[in-house]
Structure 1
Amino acid sequence: MVVAILVAFLGALAAPWVFRWLGNAAGWGLALLPLGLAVYFASLLPDVVGGQTLRHSLVWVPSLGVNFSFYLDGLSLLFALLITGIGTFIVIYSGGYLKGHPDLGRFYLVILLFMASMLGLVLADNVVTLFVMWELTSLTSYLLIGFNHSEFRSRRAATQALLVTAGGGLALLAGLILLALMGGSLEISELLGQGQVLREHPLYLPTLILVLLGAFTKSAQFPFHFWLPNAMEAPTPVSAYLHSATMVKAGVYLLARLQPALGGSEVWSSALMVFGLATLLTGAALTFRHTDLKRLLAYSTVAALGALVFLIGLVPLTSYYAAMAFATFLLAHSLYKGGLFMAAGAVDHEAGTRDITQLGGLFRVMPLTGVAVVLAALSLAGLPPVLGFIGKEVLYVAALQAAPAWMVGLAVLGFAVGAMLALLLVVPFFRGQPPQKVHEGPPSLWLGPLVLAGLGLLLGFFPGLYNPLADAVASAVKGQAVAYHLKLWPGFNPAFLLSLLTVLLGVGFYFLYPRLRAWMAQEPIPGPENAYVALLRGLMRLAAGVERLLQSGSLRAYLVWTFGGLVGLVGLALFRSGVLLWPAGASSPTPEQVLLLALMLLGAIGALRLRSHLAMVVVLGVVGAGVALVFLLQNAPDLSITQFLVETLTAILIALVLLQIRNIGPVPRGRWLDKVVALGFGGLVTLLMLGVLAQPLELHLSQFFAQKSLPEGFGRNIVNVILVDFRGLDTFGEITVVGLAGLGVWVLLANGRASGEPSPNGNSNGRSDHEHPDS
């Protein structure tokens, strides 16, 4: 599996070169990559169906227990087959749909990178590996949704999808870390067997909330559902792949994968059933507002994702029906929704519109696409003899077994809207006249929809072909062995009666659709998207305010914020650590030291009271000279000389700069904030030094330099040997930085004099309004 994922990433990186080589046929050539991967995973079916779980691991960060470990069971195998199998037809479809697009090579690169990331996500066994792949899918989906980056709506939809899913990703990261701490392992396969321990842990509830946030944002669950329909600004191949079969099911996969570990509690089942049902009804209700084919399918996808989450919540409450319904409905939805999206794109590609009110008679001019739409629509409506009918039947059986009656009733209403949508999709193919010059597209456009819809029909007639894998999927979700016999005709039972009621309600909704759409379109309905927009605007205003506050262009303000922050943060740390105010055993200061300290203090106070910048520099020199004399009294003449030189050069350089800025004006009076920050920073440094002196003196490094300076550095002055020999490159780097800074200052001053650059008051040469040219 490690090799398969590596091949997927390498193949994606090679896609632009393959496109240059094959040109318009690149779609067929590049489709060999997902096709080969699909064949590889299909070859593992006998082992997985036989009850084996395959695991491969590659050490990544051994000290932290982080590995590139991958785990294959029924659940991950089904997703791997969907990702690679549907991905094969999507790549072929992209070549026909985007033929002639100048950025088609880039599209192949990103969509294959997404496929590899999604494949790594569903196979990951390590929580860190899973999160890395999770974020890669968010990043690549952002690039795919915003593929037409010259259009504002595409950029806005891509940004919205990224912000929502990435925000949930951060919550998921925290949840996965807590989960690993609770279970004592980063390997998901090991955590799955510790359900009882995890549910009884005090951190179970916050961990569950964080994981649900990550899954809900990714799978567009209420109230985060709004980003998915907006993402329909992406090209149709992206919608067919990401937003029906793969990315939006990542959150569903995560919940199904962690169900044996986190499921079984009342809060788990209640949360998933309530939010799943709310998402199902929200997607169904918002379907009435649109006539665009992709928008209609997008809200249908939202509803189906809600149904899948609802089923996961039912899993702990039923014997095996909910797990089996999940396995069946998941495959059925991926087949019919991927086919319908591609068919909608083919219709738009040939007819030039996706508005169902402007389409008609398409079956006569697009018969192959029409067959695919009819078969996929049957599965969407849950009618026999397709797999969607079987999935809906088992879903109703599970709901009747464990869900309250009111939830079952609401689920029927949600699925009835799906039956209505099936009619809305099929009728334009048979009623009315076809648009002029419309014809069947190239094979790349109808092959994928026809094959996917045909698979739904085949598995409907012969569900036994899927039954072994469905059992393996259900067993992985349930956490125990499941065996259930799928069949097309279950007989007359309550679930069948609910299916019949669903179809009848769907027909009724179809005839009411024009009135309901007109009524819902009258006024905009406030919802979570309005809250998202308000939150985003608030963040932008906050960011602008912080920028105005911190990026004011004033060096004084920057210094106040920097030193004030240091005083606050480091001071809080020192206070909490209980640092000593005076080190034990320290000697009292000598009279000479007291005198020097008094002179330095007077110099600092004098500098604060002066209003001339040049006078301030001179008075501050007293502080620097006092420090140099302190070094001299402590028998460090080399440091004393260095301090004198630095102080002298600094005073000269600052004076020269001040002379060039003649209109700088006097120092303002007051400056209480400056004084408070300065005193606070001085006190902080004092506390730090006292804290250091209070610690035992470690002489190991000093003894090393003392022993090595003469024999290896050929010098008796240990400090000089350290600077020149032991830290030679470091010292050279410091000298280089200082030299470059000085050179930059000199160039700026020289350019200012040469160009007669205007001063801040509008005059050139830095003269003030009241200065005479010769003054």
Structure 2
Amino acid sequence: MSTLHIAMFAPFLLALFVPLLYKFVRSLHVGWFVLPLPIALFVYFLSYVNDVRNDEAIRATMPWIPSLHISFDVYVDGLSLLFALLITGIGTLVVLYSIYYLQKGKEQLGHFYVYLLLFMGAMLGVVLSDHLIALYVFWELTSISSFLLIAYWYTRDRSRYGAQKSMLITMFGGLLMLGGFVALAIAGGTYHIRELISTPLTEHPLFIPALFLILFGAFTKSAQFPFYIWLPDAMEAPTPVSAYLHSATMVKAGIYLIARLTPIFAVSSFWVWTVALVGLVTLCWASFLASKQTDLKAILAFSTVSQLGLITSLLGVGGLAFHYDWMEENIFMVAVLAAIFHLFNHATFKGSLFMVVGIVDHETGTRDIRRLGGLMTVMPMTFTIALIGSLSMAGLPPFNGFLSKEMFFTAMLRAREVAGWAAILPIVAWIASIFTFLYSALFVSRTFFGTYKPHLLKKEAHEAPIGMLIAPIVLALLVIFIGIVPNVLSESILAPAVYAVLYGLFAPNEAVDVYISHWHGFTPELFMTIGVLLFGLLLYRTFSKWKKVYARLSERMSLNFLYDQSFVWMERGARAFTSRIMTGSMRTYLMYIFASLVVLLLFTIGLSEQWNISLSHLASVRVYEVVLALAMIAATITTVMAKSRLTAIVSLGAVGYSVALFFVLFRAPDLALTQLVIETISVALFLLCFYHLPKFSQKQESVGFNVGNALISVAVGVTVSVIAFFAYAGKHFDSISQYYVDNTYEKAAGKNMVNVILVDFRGFDTLFEICVLAIAALGIYAMVKLRLAKEEER
């Protein structure tokens, strides 16, 4: 196991010991024991910066399921390193923040940090895996761990609802994505991403299906339209979880997947325009909805959706670089650079803003902006951090969000050169940016400006302790520092990530020229930013007059309503179907089973082209065998046509004993003995419960009822006989029976072949059968005890 594998699995290993630490170490907050791990991982991944910048391949492999060629293959390049640094760096600050946010003794901290470490490890696995199956395993682990984190306060209805919603939607996309992975691997002949990137796949018929299935998975995970509805409900998680999930982890997994697979799929225009247009729709719609929210977390949740749409649209437009030979002018590379840069910037300002919300909620007892206001003088440090993060989110100078927002405008303007209809892209981007400015302004002004309302707060507001402020202060300082000195990241972090996304368009070891500047002259981008500021201020000043437009949006037409109603519709449909099918009659259920069996088997046989059934090799039928068969048929007819239960039970026993006689005639004494024992037990049990058997109904005595049963019975018999003849006539291999003859004594040291097969050769089958019988016995015992207990209560 390499050091890379140790780093990837370290969070899982530490998660095993957290419950013990929480249980036996009471003097310290358990978060202090967790904090060193993300710090160590961040430093470890930071040591790869120079190697990645010099384009040195960093690979490691560890076998997992060799028979299926599945392994934990780790590959570190600019893209995976950027995400690993965000996961561990933001993770460090989140753990530090959680130590002060979650109070010892009042919270189940052992559970929280186990879930958080699982989440961190799963995200590292997603961004470091070079094998699609391993990536999928970690992908689903992020859904499971995020479900546990969102439902951390599981006594709250909204927490359980949000957790279930996130898991259902993201796992639905994950299953579709798995299908896409399999299709992609079939097309490329490998599950290794690096090998797939180097393989031309566009002509394969599975290329387009794989493309859309994978996009479904990416869109659900990164909350793109129309799958974004799970993300606002995920705000029910504790604020440290929200800060981590929204800034650096789960929602960025879909972004990572799109960026990682861009060299494979961006050669298709379906990929480019689907990603770009879905991203822009998400950006515009979510920024519009963010402005109507009254919960601080809800504002930030919808802002996260809009920012993810911005990054997604940039990756889509950046894919045009694979279609046009304009790389010497970097005409589309700027879109990829903007996506990577804004991904980093979003992690800094969104992480700080969520922590600010947590502080406000922690110190005032509410997140409702209708109750807040005037906190600027009461919480000056928190206000300063919120102002910095909001201005960066709004895309105003001199903060880092301004630089990536300018690049966003540049990319959308250049996309116009591809097609005439693409002129709408910068217009949509500009309108969405106006609403981004609006919800950023509402977030700050409604919380910190205006009139202080202590009578509406659940607590007396005061500034947060310094321990809770350290993490957001660090992020706010990064927002300022990167905004002033952006090129500190250009060569070390951004350029290698851009190279990874546009892999194949550059010559080997070719340096990617990345330079970020504040001033480009009086460009259209600058005027677009000025327009955003002016129109944003206008919408803000007139918000109270036009916000009534949100009331006109019917809840019955919303995606959330459709999601909730789908469960109602499914429940009603299931209840109606069950009431019609589940009649309580065992005979009815057997009719369904046997009728389905006949239809499916005969349909399958009908598709077969080999109807040459030869009966020439069958053994001759002797007279006493015919007599015994006729006796069995007579007993069977008697069982079906009997007017009393006693007659039916006796004749059914006769059928079973006749089968035992056949086993004796065919020299199978063990089977005959087994059949005799089972048949005797069955007849005895029937006689024991004879008194409780239901009486024959008039329906059961009717001719039509019996004829229907007879037809199904005959159909089953004919079908099984046909299958037996087909199996006999279609033998292409020697019988396995000779293997048992040769090896029963040699390998199992047994002389009774049937017993050896059951105990040795099929030992696991027998063991599981015994387990099933044991479980059934326990269930029967529990039901009997429960019934007796109820009778005693009466």
- TM-score of the superposed pair, with normalisation by structure 2: 0.87
Q: Distance in 1 between matches of 2:596 and 2:651?
A: 27
**Partner residue in 2 for 1:86:** 90
What's the CA shift string for 1:267-299, capped at 9, x where partnerless? 111111211111011101112321211111111
2:251 equivalent in structure 1: 248
Summarize the Cα distance change of 1:303–1:742 in structure 2 as closer, same or farther, 3 Å threshold.
Answer: closer
Give the structure 2 partner of residue 391 of structure 1: 404
Shift of 1:323: 1.0
Residues 82-139 of structure 1 deviation map (CA, whole Å, 9 limit, x = unaligned) = 1111111111111222214331221111112101111111111100111001100000
The answer for the alignment partner of 1:513 in structure 2 is 543
Paired letter, 2:499: S
In 2, Cα distance between the equivalents of 1:203 and 1:86? Answer: 38
Tell whether the 8 Å contact from 2:12 to 2:118 is kept in structure 1 after alignment.
yes
For residues 459 and 689 of structure 1, do their structure 2 counterparts lie closer, same or farther at Cα, with a shift above 3 Å needed?
Answer: same
Q: Secondary structure at the match of 1:55?
A: strand
The percent identity for this pair of structures is 36
1:378 matches 2:391: yes
The gaps in structure 1 that reach 5 residues or longer are 759-763, 765-775
Shift of 1:634: 4.2
3-state SS of the aligned residue for 1:676? helix
Question: CA 1:631/1:529 → structure 2, altered by over 3 Å: closer, same or farther?
Answer: same
Residue of structure 1 equivalent to 2:235: 232
Q: 8 Å contact 1:390–1:488 — kept in the other structure? A: yes
Q: Cα distance 1:374–1:553, how it changes in 2: closer, same or farther (>3 A)?
A: same
Indicate the residue corresponding to 1:429 in structure 2: 448
Question: CA contact under 8 A between 1:18 and 1:30: conserved in structure 2?
Answer: no
Of the candidates 472, 478, 481, which is equivalent to residue 502 of structure 2? 478
How big is the shift at 1:700? 6.1
- Please give the per-residue CA displacement for 1:47-71, whole angstroms capped at 9, x wherever unaligned: 1122223111111112222111111
Shift of 1:732: 8.9
2:277 is aligned to 274
Residues 162-561 of structure 1 correspond to what in structure 2 (within 5 A)? 162-194=167-199, 197-317=200-320, 318-403=331-416, 404-427=422-445, 428-433=447-452, 435=454, 437-468=460-491, 469-479=493-503, 480-481=505-506, 482-525=512-555, 526-548=557-579, 552-561=583-592
- Equivalent position of 2:52 in the other structure: 48
In structure 2, C-alpha distance between the alignment counterparts of 1:288 and 1:753, rounded to whole Å: 59
Unaligned stretches of 5+ residues in structure 2: 321-330, 417-421, 507-511
Alpha-carbon distance between aligned partners in 1 of 2:17 and 2:185, rounded to the nearest angstrom: 36
Question: Does structure 1 retain, via aligned residues, the 8 Å contact 2:759–2:766?
Answer: no
Show the counterpart of 1:768.
none
> The residue matched to 1:335 in structure 2 has which SS?
helix
Amino acid of the structure 1 residue aligned with 2:575? A
Give distance in 2, aligned partners of 1:381 and 1:755: 67
Structure 2 Cα separation of the partners of residues 353 and 417 of structure 1: 25
In structure 2, the CA distance between the partners of 1:90 and 1:742, relative to structure 1 (3 Å rule), is closer
Distance 2:291 2:614 in 1: 76
Farther-moved stretch of structure 1 (641-650 vs 482-491) = 641-650
The question of whether the paired residues in 2 share the 8 Å contact of 1:13 and 1:113 is answered with no
Cα distance, 1:740–1:322 mapped onto 2, change above 3 Å: closer
The Cα shift of 1:180 comes to 1.1
- Cα distance in 2 for residues equivalent to 1:99 and 1:266: 52
- 1:9 corresponds to: 12
Other structure's SS at 1:521 match: helix
SS at match of 1:130: helix
**C-alpha distance after superposition, 1:214-257 (max 9, x if no partner):** 11111111111111112212221121111232111111110011
SS at match of 1:363: coil
Find the aligned partners of 1:573 and 1:113 in 2 and give their Cα distance.
46
Q: Which moved more, 1:474-483 or 1:495-504?
A: 474-483
CA 1:636/1:93 → structure 2, altered by over 3 Å: closer, same or farther? closer
Letter in 2 for 1:675: A
**Alpha-carbon distance in structure 2 between the residues aligned to 1:228 and 1:735:** 45
2:61 alignment partner, SS class: strand
Residue 615 of structure 2 aligns with which residue? 583
Tell me how far apart the structure 2 counterparts of residues 748 and 267 of structure 1 sit (CA, whole Å): 58
Do the aligned residues in 2 keep the contact of 1:323 with 1:475 (CA within 8 Å)?
no
Taking a change above 3 Å as real, the CA distance of residues 644 and 207 of structure 1, as seen in their structure-2 partners, is closer
The CA distance in 1 between the partners of 2:786 and 2:287, in whole Å, is 68
Q: Does 1:69 align with 2:61?
A: no
Q: Secondary structure at the match of 2:201?
A: helix
Report the 3-state secondary structure (helix = DSSP H, G, I; strand = E; otherwise coil) of the residue aligned with 2:56. Answer: coil
Q: Secondary structure, in 3 states, of the residue corresponding to 2:397?
A: coil
How many angstroms apart in 2 are the aligned matches of 1:115 and 1:363?
Answer: 34
Aligned positions of 1:714-753 closer than 5 A: 722=756
The change in CA–CA distance for 1:555 and 1:415 in structure 2 (over 3 A counts) is same
| Higher mean C-alpha displacement, 697-706 vs 216-225 | 697-706
TM-superposed deviation, 1:703: 7.0
Aligned mate of 2:122, from 117, 121, 124:
117
| Normalised TM-score (structure 1) | 0.89
CA contact (8 A) 2:670 2:754 kept: no
* 2:153 paired with 1:152: no
Deviates more, 1:659-668 or 1:98-107: 659-668
DSSP 3-state at the match of 1:225: helix
The amino acid across from 1:475 in the alignment is Y
Deviation at 1:555, TM superposition (A): 3.0
Deviations 1:1-43 (A, max 9, x none): 1110121211233233334426553334422211111111111
Counterpart secondary structure, 1:68: strand
For 1:104, which of 101, 109, 113 is the aligned residue?
109
Shift of 1:752: 13
Amino acid in structure 2 at the alignment position of 1:705 = V
Whole-Å separation in 1 of the counterparts to 2:686 and 2:235: 61
Q: Distance in 2 between matches of 1:697 and 1:273?
A: 56
Please identify, of 326-335 and 591-600, the stretch whose mean Cα deviation from structure 2 is larger.
591-600
Instruction: Give the AA of the match of 1:85.
Output: G
What does residue 772 of structure 1 align with?
Answer: none
Alpha-carbon distance between aligned partners in 2 of 1:224 and 1:149, rounded to the nearest angstrom: 24
Give how far 1:721 is off: 6.8
SS in 1 for 2:191: coil
After superposition, the Cα gap between the structure-2 partners of 1:214 and 1:724, relative to the gap in structure 1 and judged at 3 Å, is closer
2:598 corresponds in structure 1 to 567
Distance 1:311 1:729, change over 3 A: closer
Shift of 1:410: 1.1
**What root-mean-square deviation, in Å, do the aligned CA atoms of Structure 1 and Structure 2 show?**
3.4
Question: C-alpha separation between the residues in 1 aligned to 2:478 and 2:778?
Answer: 71
Deviation at 1:388, TM superposition (A): 0.7
Distance 1:747 1:517 in 2: 64
- Return closer, same or farther for 1:22/1:324 CA change in 2, 3 Å cut-off: farther
Q: How does 1:750-761 map to 2 (within 5 A)?
A: none
| Structure 2 contact 335–408 (Cα < 8 Å) conserved | yes
Aligned mate of 1:693, from 722, 728, 752: 728
List per-residue Cα deviations over 1:577-625 (Å, max 9, x = no partner): 4465553322443333333323322222222211212101222344334
Measure, in 1, the Cα distance between the counterparts of 2:358 and 2:762: 67
Letter in 1 for 2:268: S
Q: How far does residue 746 in structure 1 lie from its aligned partner after superposition?
A: 11
SS of alignment partner, residue 56 of structure 1: strand
Q: Cα gap change, 1:84/1:620 in structure 2, threshold over 3 Å: closer, same or farther? A: same
In 1, Cα distance between the equivalents of 2:535 and 2:401?
Answer: 18
Instruction: List aligned pairs for 1:645-660, cutoff 5 A.
Output: 646-659=678-691
CA gap 1:417/1:566 in 2 versus in 1, 3 angstroms: same
CA distance in structure 2 between the aligned counterparts of 1:201 and 1:626, rounded to whole angstroms: 59
> How far did residue 738 of structure 1 move?
11
